[in-house]
Amino acid sequence: MKKIITIIRPDKLEDVKQALEDIGCHGMTVKEVKGRGIQLGITESYRGTDYKVDLLPKTQIEIVAKKEDVDSIVDAIVSSAQTGCIGDGKIFISPVEDVIRIRTGERGEKAI
């Protein structure tokens, strides 16, 4: 099993949700987060003075999936969240040791 953490533009959340739903991926946890990439944020101007804003609002989606589903999920996210501009986000994939469904006590892939 794998955990897929993806950071996307907040306005792309609905597109990504729909793309994941289209491939049968329903479970997810969504957080509002702030972050920055290699370009170190953006510059904003207030009353003629420039300010560096280096932590921008982003949306983080966490999905735990079977190993064989990871590629299709990644493809769905990339195709639905991509604008081609700086700030589209990133996807991180890491192994998951176990999953437990609290309601039933089921473990492993059955509990995803």
Partner 1 sequence: MDPVLNSGDTAWMLISTALVILMTIPGVALFYGGLIRRENVLNTLFLSFITFAIVSVLWFVYGYDLAFGADIWGVLGTLTNPFFSGVLESGTLSTYAPTIPTALYAVFQMTFAAITVALISGAIVERMKFSAWLAFVPLWLTAVYIPIAHWVWGGGWLYQMGVLDFAGGMVVHLSSGVAALALVLLVGIRKNAKLLPHHLGYSVIGTGLLWFGWFGFNAGSALGATNLAISAMIVTNTSAAMGMLAWVLMDKLNTGKPTLLGALSGAVAGLATITPAAGYVNVTAAMIIGFVSAVICYYAVSHLKPLIGYDDALDVFGIHGMSGIIGTLAAGVFATPLINSTIKGGLIAGNPTQVGIQLIAIVSVVIYSFGVTYAIGWIINKTIGLRVEEDHEVQGLDLNLHEESGYRLS
Residues binding partner 1 (CB under 8 A): 44-51, 53
Q: Among residues 24 and 57, whose Cβ is nearest to partner 1?
A: 57
Q: Among residues 3 and 36, whose Cβ is nearest to partner 1?
A: 36
Please state the closest distance from residue 63 (CB atom) to partner 1, in A: 23
Please state the closest distance from residue 106 (CB atom) to partner 1, in A: 29
The residue among 75, 94, 78, 93 whose CA lies nearest residue 8 is: 78
Helix (H/G/I), strand (E/B), else coil: 7: strand
> Residue 23 pairs with which residues in a beta bridge?
none
Please state the closest distance from residue 30 (CB atom) to partner 1, in A: 14
Q: Among residues 48 and 95, whose Cβ is nearest to partner 1?
A: 48
Note the Cα 1 to chain centre separation in Å: 17
User: What DSSP designation does 32 have?
Assistant: E
